[in-house]
Amino acid sequence: MSIKVFCDIADLNNIKKFNNNNFVKGFTTNPSLMRKAGAKDYESYSKQLLKVCNRKPISFEVFADNPKLMIEQGVKINSWGKNVYVKVPVINSKKQFTGKVIRNLNSRNIKLNITAVYTAQQTAKILKAINKKTKVIISIFAGRAADTGKDPVPEFIKSIKIAKSYKNVQILWASVREPYNYIQAKQLGCHIITIPPSIIEKIQKFGKSFDQLTQETVKNFLIDSRKSKFKL
C-alpha cells in the first residue's frame, strides 16, 4: 500500500522548500511549531503559509480550550482555503473529549485532522462522532507513545481495522522519531505519515548498502580524529 508523506513544519522557508518537493504531499502544523517558527499573529502567519502552499493539504490547529471557542476558531480556520484541514485535539486540557466540537465541525462538511490521539479507544470515539462523507484525518502519536516505553503499533493496527469501513477517514502516523518509522507506517497500512524536514531528507536517501554505510562511518571516524589531531 502506498503512503502519503506530509511535512510536519510551520517554518515559512521550509514550507517553500518542501512545497516544491514532489515526495511531500501535504503539511501539518500545530501551535508549538507556529511559535517555534516565530509566528506572532496566528491568522496572518497562517495566511502567509497559504500563499506558498495553496494546493497541497495543510492543517492548522485550534488553540482554544472550551468547545464553543474551538468551534468558532475551526469555522474561521476553515474559511482560509479549500486545502485547509482544521486540526482539533481529541481532548482539551481538562481531559474532556472534544466530541461536541468534532460533531459540529464535521456536520458543516469541514475537513478535520483529529490530533493527539494515542489509542484505538480514542479512535473509536472519534468515529462515532463523524459521518462517512466528510474527510477526516486521525493523527496517532507514535513517537511520544514509544517515549513512555509503550509499543504504539498495536494501537495503529486496531485503529486501521475499525476505521476500514470509513472511506473518508485516513490514519496518520505522527510524532516521527527516525526514518525507519516511514517503513513501519507503510507496512501497517497507514494512509499518511507526517515527518520533520531533517528526517524526510534522510528517507529520500534510502537505498544505501550496509557496506556503504560501514565505509562512510569509518571515514567519519577518521576525519574527526584527524581534525582533533589525536595522538597516542
Q: Is the pLDDT of residue 175 over 90?
A: yes
pLDDT in tens, 25-41: 999 999 999 999 999 99
* Residue 55 belongs to domain with CATH number: 3.20.20.70
Taking alpha carbons only, the member of 189, 203, 137 closest to residue 3 is 189
Cβ pair 137, 112 in contact under 8 A: yes
- Please state the separation of Cα 45 from the chain's center in Å: 19
Query: Average pLDDT in the 162-166 region?
Result: 98
Q: Is the pLDDT of residue 135 over 80?
A: yes
Q: Alpha carbon of 87 to those of 115, 164, 171: distances in Å? A: 7, 21, 14
The pTM score is 0.94
**For residue 127, what is its C-alpha cell?**
468515529
Cβ pair 117, 98 in contact under 8 A: no
Q: What was the pLDDT predicted at 116?
A: 98
- Confidence category of residue 1, pLDDT binned at 50, 70, 90: low
Whether residue 115 lies inside any domain: the answer is: yes
Whether residue 186 lies inside any domain: the answer is: yes
Whether residue 150 lies inside any domain: the answer is: yes
Q: What was the pLDDT predicted at 226?
A: 97
Whether residue 148 lies inside any domain: the answer is: yes
Query: Which residues have C-beta within 8 Å of that of residue 214, sequence separation ≥ 6?
Result: none
Query: Average pLDDT in the 114-136 region?
Result: 98
Query: Average pLDDT in the 35-49 region?
Result: 98
* Integer Cα distance of 189 and 172 in angstroms: 10
Cβ pair 180, 155 in contact under 8 A: no
Whether residue 46 lies inside any domain: the answer is: yes
Q: Is the pLDDT of residue 67 over 80?
A: yes
Total domain count for the chain? 1
Residues shown for the chain: 232
The percentage of the chain sitting over the pLDDT mark of 70, rounded to a whole number, equals 100
Q: What was the pLDDT predicted at 127?
A: 98
Q: Is the pLDDT of residue 9 over 90?
A: yes
Residue 56: domain span: 4-227
* Integer Cα distance of 83 and 159 in angstroms: 25
pLDDT in tens, 190-219: 999 999 999 999 999 899 999 999 999 999
Mean pLDDT computed over every residue of the chain: 97
The percentage of the chain sitting over the pLDDT mark of 90, rounded to a whole number, equals 99
Q: What was the pLDDT predicted at 156?
A: 98
pLDDT in tens, 84-111: 999 999 999 999 999 999 999 999 999 9
- Please state the separation of Cα 209 from the chain's center in Å: 29
Whether residue 82 lies inside any domain: the answer is: yes
**For residue 92, what is its C-alpha cell?**
482539551
Whether residue 232 lies inside any domain: the answer is: no
Q: What was the pLDDT predicted at 185?
A: 98
Query: Average pLDDT in the 106-127 region?
Result: 98
